[in-house]
C-alpha cells in the first residue's frame, strides 16, 4: 500500500502534468513549486519570495538554454578575453571583476536575453545601453564597453564599495539608496553579489598564479 509521501509525489506529478497540458506548446512558460508559511505546497508560473524552486520550463528559453554548452561558453570566454582585458585597462578596472560579472550575468553568451529584457554579455537593459551609447547590445565590444563604464560609474558613486556597486548593477542605484546605501533585501540581489564576489576572488587568485 502506498505511503502518504508516495501519494503526495503522485499527486504533484499529476498536477504538474495537467498544468503543462493546459499551456499552449508555443508559449514560453515556467512552473515553480512554492512552500507557503503554513507548510502548504503551491504551484505558480512566477517565482515568489521564500522557499521556491523551478520545476519545469517550456518554449524558446528552454531550447536556447539547452543549446548553450560548457564548451561553447569556454570558447566564447576565450574570444572575449582580449576585449575584457583592453577595456579593463582603459577604465582602470580589474579584468577579473569584469570576467566575474560577465560569467554571472550571461555565462559569456553574447546573445543572452533575460525575461526582463536585459541583453548581451553584461545584460544591459535598453535604457542603460542607450545611456552609454550602446547601439547594439549583442555586439560584444559595445556591450562590454557600456557595461564596464556603467560598473565604473557605480563604483565611483558608492565610493568604491564593490558590494554596493554590484548590488546597484543588479537592482539599480535607486534601490541601494532606498535602503540607506546597503544591499537591498532582495534574495536575487544578495545572491548576485555573493556569486560575483566569489567568481572575482577565483579570477584574482588565478591571475596571481
Residues 131, 200 within the same domain? yes
Q: What is the pLDDT of residues 130-165, one digit of tens each?
A: 999 999 999 999 999 999 999 999 999 999 999 999
pLDDT at 208: 85
If one counts every other C-beta atom within 10 angstroms of the C-beta of residue 179, the result is: 13
Answer whether residue 34 is part of any domain.
yes
Per-residue CA distances from 149 to 38, 87, 109, 128 (Å): 46, 9, 19, 10
Q: How confident is the model at residue 177 (pLDDT cuts 50, 70, 90)?
A: very high
The number of folded domains in the chain is: 2
Q: Which domain holds residue 91?
A: 70-208
* Under 8 Å between Cβ of 193 and 170: yes
**C-alpha span between 88 and 99 (Å, rounded):** 10
Answer whether residue 1 is part of any domain.
no
pLDDT at 61: 41
Answer whether residue 90 is part of any domain.
yes
Residues 119, 24 within the same domain? no
CATH classification of the domain holding 85:
1.10.530.10
- pTM of the predicted model, to two decimals? 0.69
pLDDT at 55: 46
Residues 20, 114 within the same domain? no
**C-alpha span between 51 and 195 (Å, rounded):** 19
Residues 182, 126 within the same domain? yes
Could you give the residue numbers annotated as active site?
Answer: 105
Select the more confidently predicted residue: 55 or 36: 36
pLDDT at 66 exceeding the cut of 60: no
Mean pLDDT of the chain: 81
Residues 187, 132 within the same domain? yes
Amino acid at each position: 500500500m502506498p505511503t502518504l509521501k508516495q501519494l503526495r509525489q503522485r499527486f504533484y506529478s499529476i498536477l504538474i502534468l495537467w498544468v503543462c497540458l493546459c499551456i499552449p506548446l508555443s508559449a514560453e512558460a515556467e512552473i515553480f513549486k512554492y512552500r507557503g508559511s503554513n507548510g502548504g505546497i503551491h504551484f505558480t508560473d512566477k517565482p515568489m519570495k521564500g522557499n521556491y524552486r523551478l520545476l519545469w520550463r517550456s518554449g524558446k528559453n528552454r531550447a536556447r538554454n539547452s543549446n548553450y554548452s560548457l564548451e561553447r561558453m569556454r570558447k566564447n570566454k576565450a574570444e572575449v578575453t582580449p576585449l575584457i582585458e583592453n577595456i579593463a585597462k582603459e577604465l582602470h578596472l580589474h579584468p577579473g571583476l569584469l570576467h566575474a560579472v560577465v560569467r554571472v550575468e550571461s555565462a559569456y553568451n553574447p546573445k543572452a536575453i533575460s525575461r526582463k529584457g536585459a541583453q548581451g554579455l553584461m545584460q544591459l537593459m535598453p535604457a542603460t545601453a542607450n545611456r552609454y551609447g550602446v547601439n547594439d547590445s549583442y555586439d560584444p565590444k559595445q556591450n562590454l564597453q557600456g557595461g564596464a563604464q556603467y560598473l565604473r560609474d557605480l563604483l565611483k558613486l558608492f565610493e568604491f564599495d564593490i558590494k554596493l556597486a554590484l548590488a546597484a548593477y543588479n537592482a539599480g542605484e535607486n534601490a541601494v539608496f532606498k535602503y540607506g546605501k546597503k544591499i537591498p533585501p532582495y534574495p536575487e540581489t544578495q545572491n548576485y553579489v555573493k556569486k560575483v564576489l566569489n567568481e572575482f576572488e577565483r579570477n584574482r587568485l588565478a591571475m596571481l598564479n
